[in-house]
Structure 1
Amino acid sequence: MGWDHGYYSHSTYTSGYFRELAPSWLDFAALIKGHSPPRAVEGQAFQYLELGCGMGFGLCLQAALHPEGTFLGIDFNPDHISHAEGLCRRLALTNVRFLEADFLALAEDPSPLGPGPAFGGGFHYVVAHGIATWVREPVQQALFAVASAALRPAGLFYCSYNTQPGWLGRTTFQQLYALERSRSDPADPRAPLRRAIAGLQALLGTAEQPTALRHAIPQLEEDLAGLDPEQFDYLCGEFANEGWQPVYVADLHRRCQAHKLHPLGTATLPEAFDQLLAPSLQGPIFAEVNPLIRQTMIDLATHKSFRRDVFVKGLDPLTLQDAEVRIGALGLRALQRPSAPADGPPSFSFSTSFGQVQGDPAVYGPIVERLAAGPCTVSELQEHGGQSAVELLMILALFLDAGWIGFDRSRQAGAAKLNAQAQRCNGVLMELIAGGRPYGSLLLPEVGTALPVTLVDVLIQKAMAQGLEEPMLSTCVLMGLEQMGVHLLAPDKQPISDPEAQLTRLAALIADFREHRLPTLQRLGGLPKPKRR
């Protein structure tokens, strides 16, 4: 076996930002489970390690958002590390570094990570996004060993991974895709993807004449429809690894516990509240006290396909009084308001892995209005609404998961300097995106997270910054897309060729950007405030 241990190393992975990896988010996940997080207050210095950092985009954004932190990214693919270091230089970041290293080698000798806990060092946070079920079991075991060795006592380990039973249907695709790759022409690497998708679709039959496969896996048709051969790098990372192994939660938790990593909670925040489960499920699940069996029952009942679990190396439980104080002091602020019909109140409907959750407007509405009025603490929210602590935390978990609110970082020391750095980095990122880099996020420093954006958004912002108005604004954006060989897409993702239809579509995209993402970037420190004329 080569240096990649069966991991697909023939292309680089995608560049993404995942909000659940932010220190504030992980701290909140720990607090709602009664554990004292690694930082006593927002803005305190910390050390952060990402295992399997990929292209380094997400870690660079975390470093730009948290100058008080020191960040290290590990990956064994030299192409990933080369890209990460190049992006770090372009963003002029001094608090993040990258290391090309193998988990198996680090498990034998973790000294390249720096001084460990035995020498007063170690990391407050260690994260591994998605990688655990993409590698062979010996590499997975090494991943957990490195995470454990690197963590400080009471430090948090975030591990997201593909789970059963939600991936059972897609194992059929993965098996056929592996066989297609074994006989494919390397000159056409996308051909195995297309053949495997088409082959499975043919085996499903039709809705009128279903095959046994369709009867057995009714979800498979929808799963196949979501596989886009144009997302080649992602699909190869997801399905082309020889160690590909979605697991049941109990198996992964046992493996982590063997390395002193205790299951604590989840970074998918609504899943921390079992009372959000359908009433028909609550009886048998609430009756089960064994945590491994209970979590397995939840995953089976909800057909779970992905988990974002948080583990701790050494529990540090809070007293009820301490938990109340720590949680009550957390600062929150609005990111966006819930959508509302033109002739009615906003909808408090949330899509979760437990199903659709419907909130009571009489309870949820006042909380939204208070947050819209300005930043506040959890204690101030509780005084305003009068909910119990548990009920308010559940509501806040739903709001955070929906992207309505974020953690307030505007009151900490050095906030103005942080905003200036984020605005500078966003300028660099927009130039890179406009130049063809496949990035899709800009920094929101006042809430310690990033905002999803598209190439069209960036081209619109650049044209607006030059003072362009319609019709020159749309014309400039279209020219930018044409120069890059990118087609403007309709809502159904089909290219638009008719010039009049292009202008109509762009007008809608410009209006949406002006109404939503542009105000958010300006309000939360992502763009300099417009100068008064």
Structure 2
Amino acid sequence: MSAVDFHGYDASAGYTYGFCPEMAPDWLDLSAMLAGAAPARRDGQAPFRYLELGCGQGMGLCLLAAANPQGQFVGVDFLPDHVAHARAVARAAGLTNIQFSDGDFVALAQQWPVDFGRFDYVSLHGVYSWITPPVRTALVRCLGQATASGGLVYIGYNAQPGWLGSMPFRHISRLLKEESNQPSEAVMQASIGLFDRLAAGGANSFRILPGLKSRLAAVKRQASNYLIHEYLHAGWHPLWHSEVAKEVAGEGLTFVGTASLAETLLPGALPPLLRATVEEQVSSVLRIDVQDLVINQSFRRDVFRPSSLWPTPAGDVVLEGKKIYLLKPVEGDSLTIATSFSEIILQAPAYAEIVSALDAGGRSIGELLALPAMRKQGRSNALQIMALLLHARIVGVGRSAPAPIRAVQGLNRFIAEEASRGRRYDHLAAASLGSAVVATADDLRLLDAWLAAKGRIDAKSLAATCADKPMGDQGAPADGQTAITPDRAAAFLNQTLPRWRKLGAVAQGQA
């Protein structure tokens, strides 16, 4: 078994550095409470243990560890390059509450490490639908051994039926790899070229499977290392919710709800006939699979927990104590929010009072529910509006009291420096959120220059400093980097930095 093809997993390229806010502890707790279940922690400031299986480059876990110093984090991945990168980031940032381990799920399932113990949160993103059935069986056994009583398990996975239109592309790509013996990156380019010719020639599959054309268009916009991990594994197999629920039930895990908060509006947000069809199904797994058929679900973020000891719901007091923060400004008289089931248009009266209240700083859900317009909406509708704003990344859920920011400062300084050299990092740790905030390539360059000047710099000088500093490793612009104008630097100083300070991504007096 080669290192490039480990248990059928194509390991020829490293994965991306992405971050999923749905994996943050506070987000998972909120997901459970919105489903009427108990969070893993009733006290958001309490210590906890967090495990990510298949942590990839480890960037997401480092962001969480920096923003949650009261937590202890463990990341496991079988790719040595991933683990080496993760350890290097943690070391450079001075993180002391995180460790990374080389780990093969099959070996871990046979003998779970005593020093790992059990965790309040266990997460895995993408990997569940990318591995072969025997490895998935071992992974499920690891979940059973790793999850503490009352803990929460997050599983993000490619779901059916949304991937049906991609099956031909995936099949041919994998077959090209097996038959051509070319490097994986060359295989992906060859596959794209082949399907371009098929589309141009009017192949019937593009008529019968409309999703094939849109998937091909999406593939052309994605990085090759992502495509390799998405399409070239021998075990690639999008799954129905019922299949995942049945597999993890063997280890005593029961479905709690979804971390895709917009989907908490379902089936109520569906047209009446479709809603009734979903609701009349005889079991929860059948209802969810039929609902996914209705919306053409392509990715699920399911939350499970051990069923041996089902904690009592936390109650309204704990839910209403969760704090919400504004992540970005809102302009215009309406918001169009894309969800997995439709575009939802919110008119300003539905959300403007929330945005206005949050503009001054974080507010608890209870405080937001008490706003006059929210009382008029009613509790259920007000919570749905908050769920949509969270889904759209307009607001974020976070800690009731900000964490110490020292670890965040160290990591974010490292991120800014590396991004300026062309590394494709795109988030900063945020102590108030206990999570991370999106940062563009240009904003990270500006942050790096601002930190180097210890904050004592005006917009014109900041723009000039960025212009003088080579972009990327070879002096060429990295992805997303553009020439920085004084106006762009002024927007960073006057808008972006103050917002990051409120979120705890930059300390109030940091320079």
Give the TM-score of the pair, scaled to structure 2: 0.91
What CA distance in whole angstroms lies between the structure 2 residues aligned with 1:324 and 1:457? Answer: 38
CA RMSD of aligned residues (A): 2.6
Residue in 1 aligned with 2:90? 88
Residues 128, 189 of structure 1: CA spacing in aligned structure 2 closer, same or farther, 3 A cutoff?
closer
CA contact (8 A) 1:190 1:229 kept: no
2:350 matches 1:363:
yes
Aligned match of 1:118: none
Q: In the superposition, relative to structure 1, how do residues 258 and 483 fare at CA in structure 2: closer, same or farther (>3 Å)? A: closer
Corresponding position: 1:393 with 2:383: yes
Gapped regions of structure 1 (runs ≥ 5):
116-121, 496-501
SS in 1 for 2:417: helix
Partners of 1:8 and 1:318 in 2: how far apart? Answer: 43
Partners of 2:489 and 2:216 in 1: how far apart? 32
**Matching residue of 1:135:** 131
Question: Shift of the alpha carbon at 1:205?
Answer: 3.4
CA distance in structure 2 between the aligned counterparts of 1:269 and 1:379, rounded to whole angstroms: 18
The alignment status of 1:291 with 2:284, answered yes or no, reads: yes
- Once residues 452 and 486 of structure 1 are traced to their aligned partners in structure 2, the CA distance between those partners, rounded to angstroms, is 24
Identity fraction in percent? 31
Q: How does 1:54-65 map to 2 (within 5 A)?
A: 54-65=56-67
Match of 2:497 among 502, 511, 518: 518
Q: Say whether residues 1:273 and 2:265 are aligned partners.
A: yes
Are the equivalent residues in 2 in contact too, given 1:330–1:377 (CA < 8 A)?
yes
State yes or no: 1:455 paired with 2:447.
no
Contact 1:249–1:296 under 8 Å retained in 2: yes
* The one of 305, 310, 332 aligned to 1:312: 305
Instruction: Name the counterpart of 2:210.
Output: 218
The amino acid of 1:139's aligned partner reads: V
Q: CA deviation at 1:153?
A: 1.2
Q: CA deviation at 1:244?
A: 0.8
Q: Show CA shifts across 1:241-263 (max 9, x none).
A: 11111112211111111221111
Name the CA shift for 1:454/1:364 in 2 (closer, same or farther; >3 Å): closer
- Contact 1:229-1:235 within 8 A present in 2 as well: no
What's the TM-score once normalised by structure 1's chain length? 0.87
Specify the SS of the correspondent of 2:370: helix
The reply to whether residue 303 of structure 1 matches residue 293 of structure 2 is no
* Closer/same/farther in 2, CA of residues 96 and 276 from structure 1, 3 Å limit: same
1:160 matched to 2:146: no
Answer whether contact 1:34 1:317 (CA < 8 A) is retained: no
Change in CA separation of 1:229 and 1:162 when aligned onto 2, cut-off 3 Å: same
Q: Amino acid of the residue matched to residue 440 of structure 1? A: D
Task: Pick closer, same or farther for the CA change 1:282–1:487 going to 2, 3 Å.
Answer: farther
Cα distance between partner residues in 2 of 1:75 and 1:82 = 10
- Give the secondary-structure state (helix, strand or coil) at the position aligned to 1:227: helix
For 2:437 and 2:475, locate their aligned partners in 1 and report how far apart those are by CA, in whole Å. 22
CA shift for structure 1 position 489: 8.4
Question: Are 2:146 and 1:150 equivalent residues in the alignment?
Answer: yes
Show CA shifts across 1:206-251 (max 9, x none): 7xxx431121111222211221487121111111111111112211
Contact 1:162 1:246 in 2 (8 A): yes
**Secondary structure class of the residue paired with 1:42:** coil
Equivalents in 1 of 2:459, 2:320: separation in Å? 48
Q: Shift of the alpha carbon at 1:360? A: 4.2
Correspondence for 1:528: 507
Deviates more, 1:240-249 or 1:507-516: 507-516
The change in CA–CA distance for 1:531 and 1:234 in structure 2 (over 3 A counts) is: closer
Give the partner amino acid of 1:354.
F
* 1:430 corresponding residue in structure 2: 416
- Residue pairs, 1:156-235, within 5 angstroms: 156-184=152-180, 186=182, 189-205=184-200, 210-228=202-220, 231-235=223-227
Q: Work out which of the residue numbers 247, 252, 255 in structure 2 matches 1:260.
A: 252
Query: Structure 1 residue 339 and structure 2 residue 339: aligned?
Result: no
- The worse-fitting range, judged by mean Cα deviation, of 169-178 and 188-197 is 188-197
C-alpha change, 1:406 and 1:2, in structure 2 (3 Å) is same
Per the TM alignment, residue 394 of structure 1 is displaced from its structure 2 partner at its CA by 1.2
Q: Which of 197-206 and 170-179 deviates more?
A: 197-206
| 375, 394, 397: which one aligns with 1:404 | 394
Contact 2:12 2:184 in 1 (8 A): no
Cα gap change, 1:227 to 1:510, in 2 (>3 Å)? farther
5 Å-filtered alignment, 1:495-514, equals: 506=485, 510=489, 513-514=492-493
* TM-fit CA distance, 1:522: 2.3
Bigger CA drift: 471-480 or 210-219? 471-480
Which residue in the other structure is 2:368 paired with? 381
Contact kept, 8 Å, 2:325 with 2:396, in 1: the verdict is: yes
1:468 deviation in Å? Answer: 5.3
SS of 2:498's equivalent in the other structure is helix
Residues 192 and 220, structure 2, Cα contact 8 Å, conserved in 1: no
Distance of 2:430 and 2:46 partners within structure 1? 19
Aligned pairs, number: 501
Q: 1:449 to 1:114 in 2, by over 3 A?
A: closer
Counterparts of 2:487 and 2:283, CA distance in 1: 52
Q: Which digits, 9 at most, give the CA deviation of each residue in 1:355-403, with x for residues without a partner?
A: 1112243332223223334332222222222143322221111111111
1:37 Cα deviation from its structure 2 partner? 1.2
Deviations 1:279-324 (A, max 9, x none): 45212112224111111111111111111100111263545xx522
Is residue 39 of structure 2 the alignment partner of residue 34 of structure 1? no
Aligned equivalent of 1:326, options 304, 318, 321:
318
| Structure 2 letter corresponding to 1:524 | L
Which of 224, 228, 239 is equivalent to 1:236? 228
Whole-Å separation in 2 of the counterparts to 1:111 and 1:489: 41
CA distance, structure 2, for counterparts of residue 513 and residue 212 of structure 1: 50
Question: How far, CA to CA, are the matches of 2:127 and 2:21 in structure 1?
Answer: 17
Give deviations 1:188-214, integer Å, cap 9, x for gaps: 5432212211211221237xxx43112
Aligned-pair distance for 1:486? 6.0
Distance 2:200 2:388 in 1: 39
Q: Mean alpha-carbon deviation: is it higher for 521-530 or for 161-170? A: 521-530
Deviations 1:40-85 (A, max 9, x none): 1111011111111111111111111111111111111122112211
